[in-house]
Amino acid sequence: MPQAEAAFHGSLRRLCGPALARSHSARNIEFAPYVGVEYEAKLGQTADLARAEGEDVAGLKILIGLRAWF
């Protein structure tokens, strides 16, 4: 499935300034916000069953999130 994603990386020190980050100096907490687009479609008999139930057989989703790790 094709997928697109954009990420911007940074650290707690740059995000919040040295005073807040100093308390977490043993852990370098990183973050990466992301934006993505996902397309999903049902095919064949699965699509037939979905149509019979009145469901959509295809859909587009916009994903927005924040990843954090240390």
- Residue boundaries of the structural domains of the chain: 4-69
Interval 23-48: pLDDT, tens: 555 567 888 888 899 999 999 999 99
Mean per-residue pLDDT, 11-29: 57
Q: Would you state the pLDDT for residue 61?
A: 93
Round to whole Å and give the CA distance between 64 and 12.
20
In the block, tokens 């069953």 appear at: 49
Report how far Cα 47 is from the mean position of its chain's Cα atoms. Answer: 26
pLDDT at 17 over 60: no
Residue 5: per-residue pLDDT:
59
Distance from the first to the final alpha carbon of the chain = 30
Give the predicted TM-score (pTM) of the model: 0.46
Contact present, 65 and 32 (Cβ < 8 Å)? no
Q: Region 4-18: what's the mean pLDDT?
A: 57
Q: Which of 6, 10, 8 has the alpha carbon at shortest distance from 36?
A: 6
**How confident is the model over 8-19, as a mean pLDDT?**
56
